[in-house]
Amino acid sequence: MKIATFNINGIKARHKALPAWLEEQSPDVALLQEIKSVDEAFPRDLIEDLGYNLETHGQKGFNGVAIASKYPLEDVTRGLPGDPEDVQARWIEATVVGARVVRVAGLYLPNGNPVPGPKYDYKLAWMKRMKARAAELLRTEEPIVLGGDYNVIPQPEDCARPAAWEKDALFLPQTRAAFREILNLGYTEAFRARVSGPGHYSFWDYQAGAYQRNDGIRIDHLLLSPQAADLLRDVGIDKDERARDKPSDHVPVWIELDA
């Protein structure tokens, strides 16, 4: 089972690139972020015509997450628990019922800039809520995959120029500590379980030829419960997507699990 995460940075802008990637790479499950569309306006046919089931949790103009799956999706829930007043569309969960049953969560973690300020306070509070939900999911003792745009640079090797990010919400010590707290519950960060060393990124800014210079950061992650980590076969980053026509500033990151 191939599961990918992809921040598409707007379905309207990616209405050609996203179906092309789905056809070419054929993930069984795609966790999408920043769809930037309300549910009723999302062009479902673009995905459903390719044989995918689709569940969205949208929001007008920004945010928004979705799950596309070749397998049936059951027990779909929307919104991260813990704050009933939080209306930002950043979390969606579903059970993928294939040859193996896997619970997936697609997430778009807050950016948090500028620092200090209410946006960073929201980011840390959101991560605390995510930790609580991640702990609940572990107690099911099922294969769990938490995939999405985390807006977290875990280590200096995950950015081309660490000094440039020292005061950014994505790289502050408090941010990385909150990320490690989630990992330390018992999750495995899939990419680093298989690939070490610098130079592996999932985001490049549109400005100043960042992609051409490989001046990137790695902020799109897939975290696996022990039951899912035991099934891990392969990982990868579809870096070449960034070089295509009208690309997102993110590229897909994927894993393969034993079926």
pLDDT at 259: 74
Preceding amide of 116 cis, omega within 30: yes
Catalytic sites, residue numbers = 108, 149
Task: With beta carbons less than 8 A apart as the criterion, state whether 103 and 115 touch.
Answer: no
SS3 (DSSP) at 210: coil
pTM value > 0.85: yes
pLDDT at 111: 98
* Domain ranges within the chain, ordered by starting residue: 2-257
What's the one-letter identity of residue 259?
A: A
Task: With beta carbons less than 8 A apart as the criterion, state whether 37 and 58 touch.
Answer: yes
Strand locations in 8-111 (E): 29-33, 53-57, 65-69, 73-78, 91-97, 101-108
Compute the distance between CA of residue 28 and CA of residue 1 in angstroms, rounded to an integer.
6
Per the DSSP assignment, residues forming a β-bridge with 29 are: 3, 69
SS3 (DSSP) at 95: strand
Could you tell me what percentage of the chain is helix, strand and coil, using 3-state DSSP and rounding each to the nearest 5? Answer: 25, 30, 45
CA 15 remoteness from chain centre: 19
- Domain 2-257 carries which CATH code? 3.60.10.10
pLDDT at 208: 85
Compute the distance between CA of residue 194 and CA of residue 54 in angstroms, rounded to an integer.
30
Which residue has tokens 């979390």? 91
Which residue has tokens 């875990």? 154
Q: What is the pLDDT along the chain (259 residues), one digit of tens a residue?
A: 999 999 999 999 999 999 999 999 999 999 999 999 999 999 999 999 999 999 999 999 899 999 999 999 999 999 999 999 999 999 999 999 998 999 999 999 999 999 999 999 999 999 999 999 999 999 999 999 999 999 999 999 999 999 999 999 999 999 999 999 999 999 999 999 999 999 999 999 999 899 999 999 999 999 999 999 999 999 999 999 999 999 999 999 999 999 7
Compute how many other C-beta atoms are within 10 angstroms of the C-beta atom of residue 159: 23
